[in-house]
Amino acid sequence: MMRSTVRRNGRKAIPGSEISGPVALVTGGARRLGAAVCRHLARRGYRVVVNFRSSTQQAADLARAIEAKGGGALAVRADVTRPADVRRMVDRIRRVFGRLDVLVNNVGDYLEKPLSKTSFDDYRRILESNLTAVFLCSQAALPLLRASGRGRIIVIGYAPVGRLSPVARCPVYHTAKTGALLLTKAMAVEEAPRGVTVNMVSPGTLFNSVLKPSTDPRDYIPAGRFCRYQDILGALDYLLGDEASYVTGGHFVISGGYAI
CB proximity list for 48: less than 8 A, separation 6 or greater: 16, 23, 24, 26, 29, 38, 41, 42, 66, 71, 72, 73, 74
| Residues 6 or more apart whose Cβ sits within 8 Å of residue 249 | 184, 185, 188, 189, 198, 199
Q: What is the DSSP letter of 170?
A: S
Contact 69, 59 (CB under 8 A): no
- Active-site residue, 229 included: no
- Which of 158, 173, 229, 258 is catalytic? The answer is 173
For the chain, list the strands marked E by DSSP: 5-6, 12-13, 23-26, 47-52, 73-77, 102-105, 152-156, 197-203, 251-254
What's the CA gap between 254 and 249, in Å, rounded? 16
Q: Cα–Cα distance between 41 and 138 in angstroms, integer?
A: 19
Which active-site residues does the annotation give? 173
